[in-house]
């Protein structure tokens, strides 16, 4: 009996990204039916009578890449701060003077929904050119009720314009908005009692995030946000240990965070908290690079404890204006010493895990048929070079979108 199959792509080398160490299938085929992978294996045993067939000409096939940490919905421009930082003014100092995140907050509050969408689409297109098929987008540049909701609506609506899956994260505890100056606890009341219940009820976000830092919010304030998120069934993520060690990662892990992100100042002895709670370490080399940070995340300890490490762009107008996940992967390897395969896992399997998406980031029977074809000699080529490669074809939910 022949198994029904919409499409077979044969004569490909497949990097399924299921295993923690490199494991590839050469001279392989992949079958897809109704948006799912229904066959993966050698070409000879592939379903014999698919509705259509494509010769992959010996190219490499990898899961669609996932950028699991971005702030790509925003307005305004902060290249003036780049100039200031090059003159020696620190990121913290700029923030204390009312620049930094709050500068983008004021531009984003003023921007229309149409303008925000237009600018977000341009940045999203740059990510998609490199085979990204799923993106997490945070709010956090509105901080008031209307602008936070506007950002989350804009983020989700990108799916209607481009072939990509979007997950959204409410980052109300990103910075203290000017109207709450010296009243951080009152602002956290608003985040926990007004925003999170509304966001959960209206299904505006999948997760809640915080910026646990001296220029962000204290561990006690973040803990209140985690409690509210948990009560409303939202996933938890956290910007922690980016500029100092406030033990935010350990705290977020106690709340079963899906991911803790940045981690330059994470104490190696705290890494076990991630293991115990199945939390992903999201490594963000772009912000490290732009802030000319010297301290690196404890990659050796993370590796020893077998903590899944994801790699993300953190695409944002201040600390990481990088619309290229492959460049971030290259930086993760060059700056932090991830092997090329670890960096690839960081954009696939581990990025999916950071978002709680079990059907993405790996290719197996039953997975979402999101993948791309590359004319490369080896998957490591994608991490080794910068701006050399683009996929020749991309499929999202089984549809050939390029």
200 binds ligand NIG (CB under 6 A): no
Residue closer to ligand NIG, measured from CB, 48 or 86 = 86
Rounded to whole angstroms, the Cα distance separating 288 from 298 reads: 13
Candidates 119-127, 128-136, 229-237, 310-318; binding stretch for ligand NIG (CB under 6 A): 310-318
Locate the DSSP E strands across 214-362: 235-240, 259-262, 280-283, 309-311
- SS3 state at 156: helix
- Residue 193 neighbours by CB under 8 Å, 6+ apart: 228
Q: Which residue has the tokens 């948990």?
A: 230
322 binds ligand NIG (CB under 6 A): no
Rounded to whole angstroms, the Cα distance separating 15 from 65 reads: 12
CB 26 within 8 A of CB 73: no
Q: Which two tokens stand for residue 90?
A: 């620190």
Residue closer to ligand NIG, measured from CB, 12 or 175 = 175
314 binds ligand NIG (CB under 6 A): yes
Among 314, 342, 368, 370, binds Fe ion (CB under 5 A): 314
Q: How many CA atoms lie within 13 A of 333 on its CB side?
A: 21
Of the candidates 73, 91, 67, 231, the residue with the CA atom closest to the CA atom of residue 152: 73
Rounded to whole angstroms, the Cα distance separating 274 from 253 reads: 6
Q: State the number of binding residues for ligand NIG (CB under 6 A).
A: 14
In the list ligand NIG, Fe ion, none, the entry touching 287 (Cβ below 5 to 8 angstroms by class) is ligand NIG
Residue closer to ligand NIG, measured from CB, 78 or 349 = 78
CB 207 within 8 A of CB 152: no
242 binds ligand NIG (CB under 6 A): yes
Draw the binding track, 330-369, toward ligand NIG (x: CB under 6 A; -: no contact). ----------------------------------------
Residue closer to ligand NIG, measured from CB, 104 or 133 = 104
104 binds ligand NIG (CB under 6 A): yes
116 binds ligand NIG (CB under 6 A): no
Given the rule CB under 6 A, which residues bind ligand NIG? Answer: 71, 100-101, 104, 211, 239, 242, 287, 314, 316-320
């Amino acid at each position: 009996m022949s198994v029904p199959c919409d499409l077979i792509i044969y004569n490909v080398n497949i990097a399924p990204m299921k295993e923690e160490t490199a494991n590839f299938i050469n001279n392989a085929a992949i079958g897809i039916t109704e948006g799912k992978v229904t066959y993966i294996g050698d070409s000879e045993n592939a379903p014999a009578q698919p509705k259509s067939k494509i010769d992959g000409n010996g190219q490499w096939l990898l899961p669609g890449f996932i950028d699991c940490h971005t702030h790509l919905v925003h307005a305004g421009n902060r290249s003036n701060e780049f100039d200031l930082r090059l003159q020696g003014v620190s990121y913290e100092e700029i923030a204390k003077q009312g620049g930094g995140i709050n500068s983008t907050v004021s531009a984003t509050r003023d921007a229309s929904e149409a303008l925000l969408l237009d600018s977000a689409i341009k940045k999203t297109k740059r990510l998609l050119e490199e085979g990204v098929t799923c993106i997490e987008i945070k709010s956090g540049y509105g901080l008031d009720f209307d602008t936070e909701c506007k950002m989350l609506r804009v983020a989700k609506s990108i799916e209607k314009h481009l072939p990509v899956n979007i997950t959204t994260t409410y980052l109300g505890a990103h910075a203290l908005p000017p109207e709450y100056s010296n009243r951080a606890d009152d602002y956290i009341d608003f985040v926990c009692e007004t925003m999170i219940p509304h966001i959960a009820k209206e299904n505006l976000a999948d997760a809640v995030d915080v910026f646990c830092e001296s220029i962000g919010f204290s561990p006690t304030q973040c803990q209140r946000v985690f409690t509210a998120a948990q009560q409303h069934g939202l996933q938890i993520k956290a910007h922690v240990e980016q500029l100092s060690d406030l033990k935010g990662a350990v705290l977020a892990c106690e709340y079963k965070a899906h991911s803790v992100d940045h981690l330059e100042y994470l104490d190696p002895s705290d890494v076990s908290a991630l293991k115990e709670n199945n939390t992903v370490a999201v490594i963000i080399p772009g912000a490290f690079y732009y802030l000319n940070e010297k301290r690196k995340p404890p990659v050796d300890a993370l590796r020893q404890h077998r903590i899944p490490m994801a790699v993300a762009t953190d695409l944002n107008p201040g600390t990481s204006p990088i619309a290229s996940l492959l460049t971030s992967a290259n930086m993760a390897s060059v700056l932090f010493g991830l092997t090329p395969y670890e960096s690839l896992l960081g954009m696939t399997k581990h990025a999916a895990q950071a978002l709680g998406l079990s059907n993405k980031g790996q290719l197996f029977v039953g997975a979402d048929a999101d993948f791309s074809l590359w004319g490369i000699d080896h998957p490591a080529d994608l991490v080794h070079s910068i701006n050399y490669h683009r996929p020749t074809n991309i499929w999202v939910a089984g549809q050939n979108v390029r």
